[in-house]
Amino acid sequence: AQSVTQLDSHVSVSEGTPVLLRCNYSSSYSPSLFWYVQHPNKGLQLLLKYTSAATLVKGINGFEAEFKKSETSFHLTKPSAHMSDAAEYFCVVANTGGFKTIFGAGTRLFVKA
């Protein structure tokens, strides 16, 4: 079975400060993990993906995520937040072993000026 938990429904940061969005997963098999971003009234856009290569994954717009198998975590980080980062972020676990792609509940990121 697979599941994904985003530990915070809302995160608020000031512009220029670091961003940390937390995601824990559960999977019986080696999973593929993804982060997507959704700006208001838009579709989801892929930020980055982990598919069992390097554990530190770099994505678009300065975001990165680290796969930690021992902690079953895949947290998303960015060194310095920008106003344009304000959006909803979804952690996703997928598996080609026949399990369905599972979306987390989402974390809304607010960026204060």
Positions in the binding site for another protein (CB under 8 A): 32-34, 36, 41-46, 49, 90, 92-96, 98-101, 103, 105-106
CB of 38 to another protein, least distance (A): 8
What CA–CA distances, in Å, run from 52 to 8, 18, 76, 103, 104? 25, 26, 17, 19, 20
Q: Which is nearer to another protein, 14 or 110 (CB)?
A: 110
- State the SS3 of the chain: CEEEEECCCEEEEECCCCEEECEEEEECCCCEEEEEEECCCCCEEEEEEECCCCCEEECHHHCEEEEECCCCEEEEEECCCCHHHCEEEEEEEECCCCCCCEECCCEEEEEEC
Q: Which is nearer to another protein, 81 or 87 (CB)?
A: 87
CB of 77 to another protein, least distance (A): 20
CB of 41 to another protein, least distance (A): 7
CB of 97 to another protein, least distance (A): 8
Q: Which is nearer to another protein, 13 or 93 (CB)?
A: 93
Q: Which is nearer to another protein, 50 or 81 (CB)?
A: 50
